Amino acid sequence: MYAKCAALTKAQQILEEIPVRSAISWSALIGGYAHHGKGVEALNCLDHIECEDDALGNVLVDMYAKCGAFLTAQEVLEDRPLRDVVSWSALISGYAQQGQGHLALKCFGQMCAEGLPPNVVTFLCLLKACASIRKLDEGEHIQDENLNQGLLKDNRLLGTALVDMYAKWGALIKAQQVVAKLHVRKVVCWNALIAAFVKHGHNEEALEGLPKMQSGNIDPDNTTIVLV
């Protein structure tokens, strides 16, 4: 409550008086500082807390990564005795969101070296990283991994991320192939493909997407109508 109302000093005072502090309470305070533009205070929280559980460590990695403080995020991650896929994915996500695709892929390599298997969130972040630096070969490898694990066919988020990645760099045939492989084709996937055709000047193919969508019992939404 105090953090949301910008009474951050009071919020921190109350937090420090709590015998057992959780990831949720620290996250609320750090989020309050960040929301009100007090980045230094948010970062300084690290000097006053100990990682009392795994979730808190993940919160810190995520917070620093989102703020672009990658060295600090990496330090927090490396200082943790047990690193998991959640903390690694938080760092990879931060790199991807800040346009540091190469570092995101390097971070993924480090995660794999520790024997940690990626999850859906990891894959989504990696696809965004690949799209930002035109690493379609890496993206295709991630697609193969998703197919091998059976994740792609029923996950519209992964499907849409793949379509977006291929479409961004004009690999429209590959984007079409992704949509064709999806068992669950939501309107958002079709919209991503149609938008790609429009972006690259393939207006006829874009128009053909509408009846194909409807033949699969998928109704167009407002975005579809605007695109075609």
Structure tokens at 224: 């579809």
Cβ(108)–Cβ(100) under 8 Å? no
The pLDDT tens digits for 52-86 are: 556 677 777 887 888 888 888 888 888 877 788 98
Of the candidate ranges 26-40, 128-142, 143-157, the one whose mean pLDDT is the lowest:
26-40
pLDDT of residue 146: 86
Q: Over the stretch 78-107, which tens digit does the pLDDT of each residue have?
A: 887 778 898 899 999 999 988 899 999 999
Q: For residue 208, what pLDDT is reported?
A: 87
Report the distance separating Cα 209 and Cα 194, nearest Å: 6
What is the pLDDT, as a whole number, of residue 129?
94
**How far apart are the C-alpha atoms of 35 and 42, rounded to whole Å?**
10
User: What pTM value is reported for the model?
Assistant: 0.73
What dihedral do alpha carbons 111, 113, 116, 119 form, nearest 10°?
50
Whole-number Å distance between alpha carbons of 179 and 202? 17
Q: Say if residue 159's pLDDT is above 70.
A: yes
pLDDT band at 4 (very low <50, low <70, confident <90, very high): very low
Please give the single-letter amino acid code of residue 194: I
> For residues 34 and 2, which has the higher predicted lDDT (pLDDT)?
34
Q: Contact at 8 Å (CB) between 13 and 42?
A: no
Does residue 20 register a pLDDT over 50?
A: no
DSSP state, 114?
T
Residues 159-173 have a mean pLDDT of 91
Token match 């991320």: residue? 161
Q: Return d(Cα 179, Cα 187) in angstroms, integer.
A: 11
Q: How high is the pLDDT of residue 91?
A: 92
How confident is the model at residue 188, as a pLDDT?
A: 84
201: left (phi over 0), alpha (psi -120 to 50) or beta: left
Q: Which two tokens stand for residue 83?
A: 């690193």
